[in-house]
Chain A
């Protein structure tokens, strides 16, 4: 199975600052990579699919990049509602796998 490793585990950022989250796959997943946001007590929400395509209704401050084994989620200017846990997921191989998550917290 493909292991997805996210870093850092926790990211402390001030509102208005840029946040960069990383996701690494143990083998190539091409661009079959999604990012999800989860707030406390809520279901996950799709942010990015195809490594770089924004899901419907997602603000432009969220962007994704990468291919193969290295991926990045960037939040250009953090808003208060962006403090949450972010997960990457590969959908190239079975079984599908998620990273362990990166918590973005207020600095």
Chain B
């Protein structure tokens, strides 16, 4: 059974940083791309960042480029999102999701339950 367990969220002041983690199990982690998607309270889904299976290729939404860094540790089956220079508009539930097929064009077939990031003074 595929499981994705996010952690690392919390309350942080504007300008602060956090490191989000997503522990994966139930599939061969190092053969699947991974993605972070966020959802602000009461709002829709917002694609944030993605990383290739090997970790060499990364993509970011313009709204987070230069502030967020996605990475992965395939030996530990863990996905990360380093979030820096946080703003109020980054307040959201952050989901990690598994790429549903091999290659660069993939849907998201499994999602974690999310970790909440709240940016407030």
Instruction: Using CB atoms and an 8 Å cutoff, list the residues of chain A in contact with chain B.
Output: 1, 32, 34, 36, 38, 43-46, 49-50, 55-56, 85, 87, 89, 91-92, 94-101
Known: A95-B60, A95-B61. A46 touches B108 (CB 8 A): yes
Once the chains bind, are A97 and B107 in contact (CB under 8 Å)? Answer: no
Task: Return the CB mask of B16-57 against A: 1 if under 8 Å, else 0.
Answer: 000000000000000000010100000011110010000000
- In the complex, B68 has a CB within 8 A of chain A: no
Which secondary structure dominates where chain B touches chain A?
strand
- Min C-beta distance of A40 to chain B, whole Å: 11
Once the chains bind, are A98 and B50 in contact (CB under 8 Å)? Answer: no
Top-6 shortest CB links A-B: A34-B107, A43-B111, A49-B107, A98-B45, A96-B47, A101-B44
Report how many A-B pairs have Cβ atoms within 8 Å. 61
- In the complex, B1 has a CB within 8 A of chain A: no
Once the chains bind, are A43 and B50 in contact (CB under 8 Å)? Answer: no
Instruction: Using CB atoms and an 8 Å cutoff, list the residues of chain B in contact with chain A.
Output: 35, 37, 44-47, 50, 59-62, 95, 100, 105-114
CA A45 to CA B95, docked complex, whole Å: 12
CA A89 to CA B48, docked complex, whole Å: 13
Once the chains bind, are A43 and B113 in contact (CB under 8 Å)? Answer: yes
Once the chains bind, are B62 and A95 in contact (CB under 8 Å)? Answer: yes
Of B44, B60, B62, most buried by chain A (CB within 10 Å of CB) is B44
Give chain A residues whose Cβ lies under 8 Å from the Cβ of B59: 94-96
CA A96 to CA B50, docked complex, whole Å: 9
Q: Give the residue of A44, A85, A91, A101 whose beta carbon is less than 8 angstroms from that of B111.
A: A44
Once the chains bind, are A44 and B107 in contact (CB under 8 Å)? Answer: no
CA A74 to CA B117, docked complex, whole Å: 34
* Residue contacts A-B, CB under 8 angstroms, 12 given: A43-B95, A44-B37, A45-B111, A46-B100, A49-B107, A55-B109, A89-B45, A91-B105, A96-B47, A98-B37, A98-B46, A100-B44
CA A47 to CA B106, docked complex, whole Å: 14
- Min C-beta distance of A58 to chain B, whole Å: 11
Give chain B residues whose Cβ lies under 8 Å from the Cβ of A36: 45, 108
Once the chains bind, are B46 and A89 in contact (CB under 8 Å)? Answer: no
